[in-house]
C-alpha cells in the first residue's frame, strides 16, 4: 500500500496536470483538435490526396466529388490538399508568434515589476505605446516595414501581442516580490537573477500559459488577416488567408473555395480557446468542478 502511495506521489507533479487536462471535457476536445492539426502539419504531404500546388486545367473550379472531396480552385488545384497543406502555416504561426511574444513580454514584465522605479516606468510606457495602436493596423505597419513572409508576419504579431504578456507578468511579479520567502532569499544573499529565474518566474507562468493558449487563436486570426491582404507567405504555398482572398472572387460560383478554409480556421481557433479555458480551470482551483467523495456526502 505504501509503495503504491509513494509511486502515485512521485508521478503526481509529472503527470497530474496532463491527466486533469485530458479528463476535462473542453481540454480533451481542444487537445484532440490541436493534435489533429499538428499531425497534419507533420504528415500532411503524405495524407493529402494530391500535390497541393499541382495544376489540373481539365478540372478548373470543379465542385466537390469523389475525385476531389472539397472541389478544386481556379487553377484546378485540389482544395482538400491545399487546406491540409495550409495547416502547416497555421500551426507554425500560432506557436511561433505566441512563443516570441511570451518570451519578450514575460521578460519585460518580470524585470519591470521586480526592479520598479525608472526601469518599470520605461518598460511599462513602451508597452503602453504599443497598446495605443489597433492590433491589426500595427501588425500591417510592421509587416510593411519588415517585408512579407512567414517569419516576418509571425514576428510582427509577436511584437503586437507582447504587451499582453508583459502586463500579466508584471502584475503577478508585483504581488509576489513582497513575499516572505523572497525576503528570506535576499537576506541569504541570493542575487536578483537567481530570484527572478528560480522563484518569481515559476509563479508567474500559470496565468501566462493560459494567456498563451488563448492568444494562439487570435494570433492565427491576425495572420489570416495579413495573408488575406497579401502579406503572408508567397504563392503558390497554400495558406488559409490567401485561399480566402482568392476564393472571394468566385464565391457565387464556387463557394467551397471559401467554406473549407473558413471551417479549418474556425476549428483551430475554437480548439485553442477551449484549451485555454480548460488550462485555466485546471490551474486555478476556484474553477474546479470536481468534488471529493467527502464533499458529495
110-135 residue pLDDT tens: 999 999 889 999 998 988 898 888 88
Instruction: Report the chain's mean pLDDT, rounded to a whole number.
Output: 86
* For the chain, domain boundaries: 20-287
Residue-wise pLDDT for 233-269, tens only, equals 888 889 999 999 999 999 999 999 999 999 999 999 9
Residue 291: phi, psi to the nearest 5? -125, 140
Count CB-CB contacts under 10 A for residue 179: 13
Helix (H, G, I), strand (E, B) or coil at 116: coil
Q: What is the pLDDT of residue 266?
A: 95
When pLDDT is cut at 50, 70 and 90, the band that residue 5 belongs to is very low
Q: What is the pLDDT of residue 196?
A: 87
Per-residue pLDDT at 3 exceeds 60:
no
Contact criterion met (CB below 8 Å) for 209 and 223: no
Per-residue pLDDT at 286 exceeds 80:
no
| Euclidean distance between CA atoms 272 and 216, whole angstroms | 6
Residue 183, C-alpha cell as written in the block: 525576503
- Torsion over CA: 95, 31, 206, 194 (sign): negative
Given the candidates 1.10.3720.10, 3.30.1330.40, 2.60.120.10, 2.60.40.10, the CATH classification of the domain at 20-287 is 1.10.3720.10
Q: What is the pLDDT of residue 44?
A: 87
Contacts for 30 with CB less than 8 Å, ≥ 6 apart: 271, 272, 273, 274, 275, 276, 278
Distance of CA 123 to the CA centre of its chain: 24
Quote the pTM value: 0.84
When pLDDT is cut at 50, 70 and 90, the band that residue 15 belongs to is low
Burial class (CB in 10 A: 0-12, 13-18, 19+), 56: middle
Residue-wise pLDDT for 146-156, tens only, equals 888 889 999 99
Per-residue pLDDT at 291 exceeds 70:
no
Helix (H, G, I), strand (E, B) or coil at 147: coil
Please enumerate, as own/partner, the contacts of 192-200 that have beta carbons within 8 Å and a separation of 24 or more: 192/114, 192/115, 195/114, 196/110, 196/111, 196/114, 200/110, 200/114, 200/173, 200/176
Per-residue pLDDT at 13 exceeds 70:
no
Amino acid at each position: 500500500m505504501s509503495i503504491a502511495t509513494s509511486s502515485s506521489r512521485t508521478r503526481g507533479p509529472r503527470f497530474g496536470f496532463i491527466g486533469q487536462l485530458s479528463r476535462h471535457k473542453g481540454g480533451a476536445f481542444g487537445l484532440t483538435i490541436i493534435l489533429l492539426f499538428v499531425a497534419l502539419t507533420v504528415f500532411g504531404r503524405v495524407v493529402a490526396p494530391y500535390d497541393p500546388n499541382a495544376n489540373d486545367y481539365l478540372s478548373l473550379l470543379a465542385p466537390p466529388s469523389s475525385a476531389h472531396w472539397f472541389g478544386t480552385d481556379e487553377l484546378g488545384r485540389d482544395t482538400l490538399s491545399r487546406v491540409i497543406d495550409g495547416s502547416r502555416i497555421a500551426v507554425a504561426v500560432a506557436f511561433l508568434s505566441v512563443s516570441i511574444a511570451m518570451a519578450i513580454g514575460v521578460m519585460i514584465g518580470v524585470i519591470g515589476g521586480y526592479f520598479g522605479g525608472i526601469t518599470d516606468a520605461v518598460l511599462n510606457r513602451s508597452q503602453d505605446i504599443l497598446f495605443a495602436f489597433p492590433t491589426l493596423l500595427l501588425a500591417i505597419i510592421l509587416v510593411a516595414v519588415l517585408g512579407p513572409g512567414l517569419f516576418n508576419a509571425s514576428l510582427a504579431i509577436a511584437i503586437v501581442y507582447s504587451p499582453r504578456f508583459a502586463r500579466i507578468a508584471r502584475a503577478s511579479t508585483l504581488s509576489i516580490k513582497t513575499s516572505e520567502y523572497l525576503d528570506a532569499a535576499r537576506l541569504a544573499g541570493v542575487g536578483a537573477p537567481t530570484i527572478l529565474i528560480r522563484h518569481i518566474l515559476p509563479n508567474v507562468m500559470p496565468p501566462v500559459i493560459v494567456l498563451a493558449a488563448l492568444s494562439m487563436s487570435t494570433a492565427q486570426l491576425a495572420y489570416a488577416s495579413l495573408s488575406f491582404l497579401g502579406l503572408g507567405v508567397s504563392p503558390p504555398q497554400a495558406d488559409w488567408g490567401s485561399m480566402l482572398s482568392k476564393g472571394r472572387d468566385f464565391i457565387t460560383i464556387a463557394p467551397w473555395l471559401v467554406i473549407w478554409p473558413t471551417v479549418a480556421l474556425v476549428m483551430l481557433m475554437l480548439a485553442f480557446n477551449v484549451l485555454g479555458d480548460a488550462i485555466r480551470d485546471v490551474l486555478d482551483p476556484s474553477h474546479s468542478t470536481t468534488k471529493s467523495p467527502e464533499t458529495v456526502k
